[in-house]
Amino acid sequence: MELTVLNLSKHYKDKKAVDGVSLRLTEGINGLLGANGAGKTTLMRILCGILKPTAGSVALDGVDVFSEDYRAVLGYLPQDFGYYPDFTGLDFLLYLAALKGLSRPHAKRKSVELLELVGLADVGKKKIKTYSGGMRQRLGIAQALLNDPRLLIVDEPTAGLDPKERVRFRNLLADLGKDTIVLLSTHIVSDVEHIADHMLMMSEGHIILDEPWDKNRTDLEQLYLEEFGGEDE
Amino acid sequence: MKNFWTLFRYEMRKIWKRPLLWGLLALLSFFLANESKPFTPDYPPGTYILVEKDGSETTRSLSFLEVFRLKREAAHALDGQKMDESFFQALRETMSYPQMSAPDFHIDSYIFRGVPPIYITLWRYLELTPDAYYHNNGGVLAYLATKAEVPDYGDLTDEELEYWSEMEENVELPYTFYDTAGMLKFAQTIYYAELLLPLVVGVCLCVLFPRDRRERLDGVVFSAKHGRGRLGAVKLAAGAVSAVAVAAILFCSVLGTCLFFHGICLDAPIQLYRTSSFPITVGQELLLTFLALALYSLLSGGLVMLVSLVALDSIAGLAAALVPVLIDLFWSGSDAITPLRMFEGKMFQIDNLVKIGGHLFNYLQATLFVLSVGAVLFLVLCGLFWRQWTVSGR
Amino acid sequence: MDRKLKTALDAAFEAPPPEGKAAFLRAHRRRELRPAALLLTQAGYVHWWTWAGSCVLFAGILVLAAGSEPQAVWSGSALTPLLALLAVAESGRAKRYGMEELELACRMPQSSALLARMAAVGLLHLLLLGISAPILSIWGGTGVVQTGIYLLTPYLLTAAIGMELSRRVRGQQGLLACTATAALVCVIGELAQTVRPELYLEEMLPLWYIALAICLAASGFEFVRMIRESEALQWN
The interface pTM score, or ipTM, of the predicted complex is: 0.72
Nearest chain C residue to B214 by CA: give it.
C172
Beta-carbon separation of C180 and B329 below 8 A = no
Tens of pLDDT, residues B331-343 = 655 555 566 666 6
Distance CA A56, CA A21 (A): 8
Beta-carbon separation of C101 and A95 below 8 A = no
Tell me: do A228 and A153 sit in the same domain.
Answer: yes
Tell me: do A59 and A155 sit in the same domain.
Answer: yes
Tell me: do A56 and A103 sit in the same domain.
Answer: no
Tell me: do A229 and A157 sit in the same domain.
Answer: yes
CA distances from B162 to A148, B165, B166 (A): 88, 5, 6
Measured in angstroms, the CA of C67 and the nearest CA of chain B are apart by 9
Tell me: do B213 and B354 sit in the same domain.
Answer: yes
Tell me: do B187 and B170 sit in the same domain.
Answer: no
Residues 6+ away with beta carbon under 8 Å from B57: B49, B50, B51
Tell me: do B256 and B156 sit in the same domain.
Answer: no
The residue from A92, A121, A147 where one domain ends is A147
Residues 6+ away with beta carbon under 8 Å from B70: B62, B107, B111
Give the single-character DSSP code of B55. S
| Inter-residue contact B142 to B135 (CB < 8 Å) | yes
Tell me: do B117 and B195 sit in the same domain.
Answer: no
Distance CA A182, CA A179 (A): 9
Domain CATH for A40: 3.40.50.300
Instruction: Closest CB to A76: pick one of C105, C108, C109.
Output: C105
Tell me: do A136 and A180 sit in the same domain.
Answer: no
Report field, pTM of the whole predicted structure over 0.80: no
| Inter-residue contact A49 to A14 (CB < 8 Å) | no
Among C68, C75, C187, C198, pick the best mutation site for testing chain B contact (most B Cβ within 10 A).
Answer: C187
Instruction: Closest CB to B314: pick one of C67, C169, C172.
Output: C172
Beta-carbon separation of C102 and A81 below 8 A = yes
Tell me: do A56 and A136 sit in the same domain.
Answer: no
Average pLDDT for chain A? 88
Tell me: do A169 and A188 sit in the same domain.
Answer: yes
**Residue A185 φ/ψ, nearest 5 degrees:** -105, 130
Identify whether B204 is part of a domain. Answer: yes
The residue from A130, A147, A164 where one domain ends is A147
Q: How many domains does chain B have?
A: 2
Dihedral in degrees, nearest 10, Cα atoms B359, B362, B364, B368: 30
Asked whether the predicted pLDDT for residue B101 surpasses 80, the reply is: no
Tell me: do B282 and B212 sit in the same domain.
Answer: yes
Beta-carbon separation of A68 and C109 below 8 A = yes
With an 8 Å Cβ cutoff, the interface of chain A facing chain C consists of 10, 12, 17, 41-42, 45, 48-52, 68, 71-72, 74, 76, 78, 80-85, 95-96, 98-103, 106, 143, 147-148, 150, 179
Tell me: do B351 and B294 sit in the same domain.
Answer: yes
Q: Check residue B141 and give left, alpha or beta (phi > 0: left; psi -120 to 50: alpha).
A: alpha
The residue from B156, B177, B198 where one domain ends is B177
Measured in angstroms, the CA of C175 and the nearest CA of chain A are apart by 16
Check residue A52 and give its pLDDT: 85
State the residue range of the domain holding A132: 82-147
Tell me: do A4 and A66 sit in the same domain.
Answer: yes
Distance CA C227, CA C236 (A): 18
The DSSP-derived string for B280-305 is: -BHHHHHHHHHHHHHHHHHHHHHHHH
Dihedral in degrees, nearest 10, Cα atoms B316, B318, B322, B323: 40
Q: How many domains does chain A have?
A: 2
Asked whether the predicted pLDDT for residue B244 surpasses 90, the reply is: yes
Tens of pLDDT, residues C170-220 = 777 888 889 989 988 988 888 787 777 788 888 888 999 999 999 999 999
Instruction: Closest CB to C187: pick one of B196, B203, B318.
Output: B196
The residue from B128, B159, B177 where one domain ends is B177
Report the range of poorest mean pLDDT among A1-15, A123-137, C19-33.
C19-33
Tell me: do B12 and B95 sit in the same domain.
Answer: no
Contacts 24+ apart (CB under 8 A), B93-97: B95/B125, B95/B128, B97/B125
Distance CA B19, CA A203 (A): 37
Distance CA B378, CA B301 (A): 8
State the residue range of the domain holding B195: 4-37+179-391
Which chain C residues are closer than 8 Å to A81 by Cβ?
A: 98-99, 101-102
Asked whether the predicted pLDDT for residue B24 surpasses 70, the reply is: yes
Using omega within 30 degrees of 0 as the cis cutoff, is the peptide bond preceding C70 cis?
yes
Tell me: do A191 and A223 sit in the same domain.
Answer: yes
The residue from A147, A167, A189 where one domain ends is A147
Beta-carbon separation of A83 and C99 below 8 A = yes
Tell me: do B197 and B152 sit in the same domain.
Answer: no
Tell me: do A97 and A158 sit in the same domain.
Answer: no
Neighbours of chain B (3+ CB pairs under 8 A): C
Tell me: do B152 and B130 sit in the same domain.
Answer: yes
Specify the length of chain C in residues. 236
Check residue B113 and give its pLDDT: 38
Tens of pLDDT, residues B40-69 = 666 777 777 776 656 667 777 878 778 777
CA distances from C158 to A97, A154, B235, C113, C213 (A): 34, 40, 32, 23, 14
Tell me: do B173 and B184 sit in the same domain.
Answer: no
Which chain A residues are closer than 8 Å to C31 by Cβ?
A: 101-103
Dihedral in degrees, nearest 10, Cα atoms C40, C43, C48, C51: -100
Nearest chain C residue to B319 by CA: give it.
C179
Tell me: do A36 and A141 sit in the same domain.
Answer: no
Tell me: do B8 and B101 sit in the same domain.
Answer: no
Report the range of poorest mean pLDDT among B238-252, C158-172, C184-198.
C184-198
The residue from B143, B177, B211 where one domain ends is B177
Tell me: do A167 and A228 sit in the same domain.
Answer: yes
Identify whether B80 is part of a domain. Answer: yes
Percent of chain A whose pLDDT exceeds 70: 98
- Is residue B24 less than 8 Å (CB to CB) from chain C? yes
DSSP-based three-state secondary structure for B68: helix
